[in-house]
């Protein structure tokens, strides 16, 4: 079996930047992208306006395609496979993919990002794909001239709500407080949009519908009053949690549930295992910070491998 120098798990900005750097360093990285959703969260975004170097903005999927092309140009092997199991102890790390194939590597860069949070209310799972969605870019098109609601008060919720006004006749933005945490520019855009109506201090308690979503049961958190809002679509945009299920009981986590790394490095609690991007970041979570973090991991890997070679000599 070929033993890779470095296996990168994840194909968002962190994973692909780590791939570009390690490939340019001649390490011939293998990168495991997901079988169904390679490219990470930016694949579900439209215009990215704040990635440096693109004064006119760039579409999220286009940015990811360019990053991948750059990584492959320098010799990254991209595999569209899901990693099923990881054995990280010992000098050789073993990555087992969903078809049962084991791949060996001297180092691993773990860059699996984060997964959308669910509301955890009755009807949400049952109506997922039948009116309930986590991605306006993917599903917004199905709601032409329909009424939709978005839940959340951060940048994602405002971005989803604004995007949905292209299709929907009306967009309710339901938030549990009476102020948003989204950036000022995005807030202003939403406040000035006549199709968006804000429903403050309110939580969704149930998604109603048998085959398709028909309505939401809401509760006002100040008065305790309940009400029903008829909608055809519900977009949940309440943040995300680091995707760490593959390394539970192997790598140390922080109190926030991200992978613990040493200081400003990408070094995890196991030698030869590095982590980068949203999976280590509870605070910033931007495409550019994830990319920077992937660069750090690549450089840490280079140093680690150089040390191994020195020891062996
Ligand atoms: P976020 O900033 O964590 O915001 C999550 C929102 O959902 C908050 O308003 C929160 O309410 C609400 N929320 C959380 N749990 C909830 C629950 N169980 N029920 C109801 N509401 C709930 O997440 P995000 O908007 O996904 O953004 C994540 C990061 O990505 C941020 O750093 C953001 O700046 C960045 N981002 C940037 C852009 C951009 O620059 N274009 C676009 C998207 C995301 P509270 O406010 O009450 O806590």
Ligand 1 mean position to 240 CA, how many Å?
Answer: 8
Return the SS3 of 68.
helix
In DSSP notation, 266-293 reads -B-SSTTEEE-GGGG-SS---HHHHHHH
pLDDT confidence bin for 243, thresholds 50/70/90: very high
With a cut of 80, say whether residue 44 has pLDDT above it: no
- For residue 120, give the ligand 1 atom closest to its CA: 18
How far is residue 111's CA from residue 5's CA, in Å, rounded to a whole number?
16
Pocket of ligand 1 contains residue 239 by CB under 6 Å: yes
pLDDT confidence bin for 21, thresholds 50/70/90: very high
Token pair of 75, please?
A: 């010799």
With a cut of 80, say whether residue 46 has pLDDT above it: no
**145 an active-site residue?**
no
Tell me the average pLDDT across 150-175: 97
Per cent of the chain over pLDDT 70 is 100
Tell me the average pLDDT across 202-206: 98
Nearest-CA residue for atom 37 of ligand 1 = 155
Quick one: pLDDT at residue 95? 98
pLDDT confidence bin for 214, thresholds 50/70/90: very high
How far is residue 78's CA from residue 41's CA, in Å, rounded to a whole number?
18
Quick one: pLDDT at residue 47? 78
With a cut of 80, say whether residue 165 has pLDDT above it: yes
Quick one: pLDDT at residue 117? 94
pLDDT confidence bin for 296, thresholds 50/70/90: very high
Q: What's the mean per-residue pLDDT of the chain?
A: 95
Query: Which residue out of 137, 156, 160, 240 has the highest number of ligand 1 atoms within 8 Å of its CB and is therefore the one to mutate?
Result: 156
Strand partners, 242: 114
Quick one: pLDDT at residue 126? 95
pLDDT confidence bin for 285, thresholds 50/70/90: confident
Range name among 29-43, 82-96, 99-113, 235-249 with the lowest pLDDT average: 29-43
Quick one: pLDDT at residue 150? 98
Tell me the average pLDDT across 189-210: 98
Q: Which of 81, 82, 86, 76 is nearest to 26 (CA)?
A: 76
**89 an active-site residue?**
no
Ligand 1 mean position to 149 CA, how many Å?
Answer: 16
Per cent of the chain over pLDDT 90 is 88
84, 89, 125, 138: the active-site residue: 138
Return the SS3 of 71.
helix
What is this structure's pTM? Answer: 0.81
Beta pairing, strands 58-59 & 77-80: unpaired
HSE of 164, CA atoms in CB hemisphere, 13 A: 37
How far is residue 54's CA from residue 213's CA, in Å, rounded to a whole number?
39
Token pair of 299, please?
A: 């450089």
82, 135, 193, 241: the active-site residue: 135
- Beta-strand runs (E) in 66-101: 77-80, 83-87, 93-97
Tell me the average pLDDT across 125-147: 92
């Amino acid at each position: 079996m070929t033993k890779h120098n470095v296996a990168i798990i994840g194909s968002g900005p962190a994973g692909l930047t780590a791939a570009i750097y390690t490939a340019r360093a001649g390490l011939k990285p293998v990168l495991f992208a997901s079988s169904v959703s390679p490219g990470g969260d930016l694949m579900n975004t439209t215009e990215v306006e704040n990635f440096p170097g693109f004064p006119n903005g760039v579409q999220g999927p286009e940015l990811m395609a360019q990053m991948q092309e750059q990584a492959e140009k320098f010799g990254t092997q991209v595999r569209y496979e899901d990693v099923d199991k990881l054995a990280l102890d010992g000098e050789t790390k073993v990555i087992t993919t969903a078809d049962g194939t084991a791949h060996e590597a001297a180092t691993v860069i773990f860059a699996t990002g984060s997964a959308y949070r669910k509301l955890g209310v009755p009807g949400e799972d049952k109506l997922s794909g039948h009116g309930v969605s986590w991605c306006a870019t993917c599903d917004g098109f199905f709601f032409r001239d329909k009424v939709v609601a978005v839940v959340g008060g951060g940048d994602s919720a405002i971005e989803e709500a604004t995007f949905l006004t292209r299709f929907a006749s009306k967009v309710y933005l339901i938030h549990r407080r009476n102020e948003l945490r989204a950036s000022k520019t995005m807030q202003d855009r939403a406040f000035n949009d006549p199709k968006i109506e804000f429903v403050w201090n309110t939580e969704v308690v149930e998604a109603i519908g048998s085959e398709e979503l028909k309505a939401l049961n809401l509760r006002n958190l100040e008065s305790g009053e309940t009400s029903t809002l008829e909608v055809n679509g519900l977009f949940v945009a309440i943040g995300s949690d680091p995707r760490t299920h593959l390394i539970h009981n192997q790598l140390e986590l922080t109190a926030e549930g991200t992978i613990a790394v040493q200081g400003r490095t990408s070094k995890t609690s196991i030698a030869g295992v590095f982590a980068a991007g949203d999976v280590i970041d509870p605070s910033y979570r931007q495409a550019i910070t994830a990319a920077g973090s992937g660069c750090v991991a690549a450089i840490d890997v280079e140093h680690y491998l150089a040390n191994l070679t020195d020891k062996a000599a």
